[in-house]
Amino acid sequence: MATEKNIEFEQFPVAGIRLGIACAGIKKENHKDLVLFELAEGTQTAAVFTQNAFCAAPVTISKKHLLESTPKYLLINTGNANAGTGEQGLTDSLACCEFVASVTNVKVSEVLPFSTGVIGEYLPMNKFLPAIKAAYENLSEYNWENAASGILTTDTVAKAYTRSVTIHNKNITVSGIAKGSGMIRPDMATMLAYIATDAKIHKSVLQNCLLEAVNNSFNRITVDGDTSTNDSAILMATGQSGIELKENSAELVMFQKALTDICEELAKEMIRDGEGATKLITLAVTGCSSEKEAKDVAYTVAHSPLVKTAFFASDPNWGRILAAVGRAGVEDFDLSKVNIALDDVNIVRNGEKSSDYTEERGQAVMDKSDITIYIDLGRGDKDIKVWTCDFSYDYVRINAEYRT
């Protein structure tokens, strides 16, 4: 028997994971900007990274170290992405791993580095060693919420979520933290996510679990259509609950659901906290002939500046949605089969304005902070769900002032 429930975050750490936080002063003084994860012996680790060809130095080093060793420490810094920094960036990222190794007495390849922040600037290396020592001394299994704050950049709120799953009258815990607010789109977005469980899961099975969860969460969000150089999602399984989840088992299905739900919640929190965002918009596209077609429609609408600014203004200008659907590149498009709704308000039926639609009903939906756009093409059984947000004045201000 297996059951699951959501639980208050700070009360349920993950056995086998300790976290330490320090103020390195990388971009701002007296600001939590360095986080160290310690993974207990035997922890299995899975990872997914950005698909941006211009990936950052820490991504390159992390990929290399994952092939060479089983990770024992993760080091995350904010305020500087260490991207676009060439050979010096690789040297600096490796040096950060060497600092951790010297403090913790592990192999350099057993450390995975992660960075987020401004692209094109070198890491201030003189600040890392003392901060790493401070983070190591701060290690605690109860530091998840502090770590959630310590990985933020332009985010305005920390993002953390925990779920407990009961299997055969024993509990396993799944806990995750993430950061992400702008430069967000599929292929991971500008985000870092760290998720851990005390279940015992084989590394190859764990990797498949992470891929499925990411594809249905972090790869289904978009703020502005930009993909970052540093995106990373890490899943750690310590095995310290004593509960082993085997491939193709009913218990693994329960774990997968909990993992995907956590990733989805973290992903939606990124959109709610999108730079300058005032609305969470869910795009539910159905009736498509292929998954690609569903994606093309969903992201064309999600990336439309005209649609996004209309939502910011709470303007029920549904013509912008219809126009975006029409330019999504759907072959043999039949407008007469298209139905569109805002929440429970039909705006387009059979390709034209719904007979029961009124501006007042549309306005009532647009005034909400969470809105779902339903788009049915009426041509197949493929569907997709994507989360996005509106474009506000503050999005332009935040990104215009990012380096100042």
59: Cβ contacts below 8 Å, ≥ 6 apart: 49, 50, 229, 230, 231, 232
The residue ranking higher by pLDDT, 182 or 310, is 310
**Which of 272, 292, 317 is the last residue before a domain boundary?**
272
Same domain? 201 vs 116: yes
Is residue 245 domain-shared with residue 308, that is, in the same domain?
no
- Based on the domain organization, do 24 and 163 belong to the same domain? yes
Residue 173 reports pLDDT greater than 70:
yes
| pLDDT above 90: residue 391 | no
Q: What is the domain-level CATH number for residue 79? A: 3.60.70.12
To the query of whether residue 190 is one of the catalytic residues in this protein, the response is yes
Tell me, yes or no, whether 289 and 260 share the same domain. no
Q: Tell me the DSSP string of 214-283.
A: HHTTGGGEESSS---S--EEEEEE--TT--B--TT-HHHHHHHHHHHHHHHHHHHHHHHTSTT---EEEE
Residue 107 has pLDDT above 80, yes or no: yes
**Domain end call among 272, 300, 318:** 272
pTM above 0.75, yes or no: yes
Residues 44 and 107 grouped into a single domain: yes
Across all residues in the chain, what is the average pLDDT?
90
344 and 245 inside one domain:
no
Boundary-marking domain end, from 252, 272, 292: 272
Are residues 161 and 296 part of one domain?
Answer: no
289 lies in the same domain as 253? no
What is the crossing angle of helices 250-272 and 203-215, to 10°? Answer: 40
Distance CA 192, CA 333 (A): 38
Binned at pLDDT 50, 70 and 90, residue 182 comes out as low
More confident residue, 189 or 246: 246
Q: Say if residue 99 is in the same domain as residue 233.
A: yes
Annotated catalytic residue, options 45, 78, 154, 190:
190
Q: Please report the pLDDT score of residue 257 as a whole number.
A: 95
More confident residue, 275 or 335: 335
Same structural domain for residues 210 and 316? no
Whether residues 244 and 328 fall in one domain: no
For the chain, counts of helices (H) and of strands (E): 11, 17
Tell whether 330 and 253 lie within a shared domain: no
pLDDT digits (tens, 9 = 90+) for 267-303: 999 888 877 789 999 999 999 999 999 999 999 999 9
Structural domain for 33, as ranges: 2-272
What does the angle CA 349 – CA 352 – CA 356 come to, to the nearest 5 degrees?
55
Read off the CATH number of the domain in which 327 is found.
3.10.20.340
Kindly state the percentage of the chain with pLDDT values over 70: 92
Domain count, the chain: 2
